[in-house]
């Protein structure tokens, strides 16, 4: 798979991830990686919160910060 943004610029760069929101392939130069909190509520015991990664393309990353 190739990076969608690189393809639009006329180059073929191998994608290293997929945008969480739109599903576009992203290369290392276009990937925007952010942390998010994930909470798990077990049936027994205390809730557990962990940090997970989210990969987005530049367009979706901009849209998610504008909201």
Query: Could you report the per-residue pLDDT of 36-58, keeping only the tens digit for each?
Result: 898 888 788 788 888 999 999 99
pLDDT of 23 > 90? The answer is yes
User: What's the average model confidence in pLDDT over 9-30?
Assistant: 97
What are the C-alpha distances in Å from 44 to residues 1, 34, 47?
A: 42, 30, 9
Please name the residues in contact with 54: beta carbons below 8 A apart, sequence gap of 6 or more. Answer: 20, 33, 34, 35, 36
Two tokens at 13? Answer: 């760069």
């Amino acid at each position: 798979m190739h990076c969608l943004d690189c393809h639009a610029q006329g180059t073929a760069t191998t994608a290293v991830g997929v945008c969480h929101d739109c599903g576009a392939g992203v290369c290392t130069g276009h990937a925007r990686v952010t942390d998010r909190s994930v909470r798990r509520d077990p049936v027994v015991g205390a809730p557990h919160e962990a940090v997970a990664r989210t990969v987005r393309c530049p367009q979706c990353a901009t849209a998610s910060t504008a909201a």
